């Protein structure tokens, strides 16, 4: 695997090695060398989640405080517009976002460390995403920033009807959010 892009000096886009033949393909999604590539001290995944979303679903912008949690994210089926927002108070890119397309065809992955909110828009029906997470899930430390916060001004690429959970509709504005 190799790093193909880096954003905000912390978020990495990773291209796995794909072994392809007439049977299909085989992908190495993780090996211990990833820790060195990501320039992190430790890389202990303790949780994995699978998320299935229909066309037009927006999830996020989610993050956790007090209990650090990083995420290695890939799309197993379908396509998303994946977004991360810098919430590190002293960062020169604080409050800025970056959006990239991830899809099952390219098999690219994204590493999002603590200090960033994450969300996505499903660009296809039956999108399936896999999250490998460091740090335990902590409901009392889970936070959400509204997907449509005007100060962040995310340009979501959609013409379809949006589907957003009640929880995500009532997320905080960035100016009122708990930060890192």
Question: Active-site positions?
Answer: 62, 131
Biggest alpha carbon distance in the chain?
53
DSSP letter assigned to residue 145: B
Q: Is 41 exposed, middle or buried (0-12, 13-18, 19+ CB in 10 A)?
A: exposed
Q: What's phi and psi for 148, nearest 5 deg?
A: -115, 25
Please identify which residue in the block is written with the tokens 């794909």.
18
- CA 122 to the chain's CA centroid: 12
Tell the residue number behind the tokens 């100016």, with chain if given: 175
């Amino acid at each position: 695997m190799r790093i193909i892009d880096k954003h905000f000096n912390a978020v990495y886009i990773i291209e796995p090695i794909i072994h392809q033949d007439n049977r299909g393909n085989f992908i190495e999604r993780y090996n211990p060398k990833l820790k060195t590539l990501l320039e992190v001290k430790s890389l202990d995944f303790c949780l994995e989640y699978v998320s299935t979303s229909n066309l037009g679903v927006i999830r996020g912008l989610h993050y956790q405080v007090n209990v650090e949690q990083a995420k290695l994210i890939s799309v197993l089926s379908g396509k998303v517009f994946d977004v991360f927002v810098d919430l590190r108070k002293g960062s020169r890119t604080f409050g800025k976002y970056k959006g990239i397309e991830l899809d099952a065809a390219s098999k690219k992955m994204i590493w999002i460390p603590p200090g960033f909110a994450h969300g996505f828009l499903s660009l296809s029906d039956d999108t399936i995403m896999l999250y490998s997470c460091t740090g335990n899930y902590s409901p009392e430390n889970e936070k959400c920033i509204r997907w449509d916060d005007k100060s962040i001004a995310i340009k979501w690429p959609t013409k379809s009807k949006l589907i957003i959970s009640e929880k995500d509709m009532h997320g905080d504005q960035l100016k009122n959010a708990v930060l890192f």
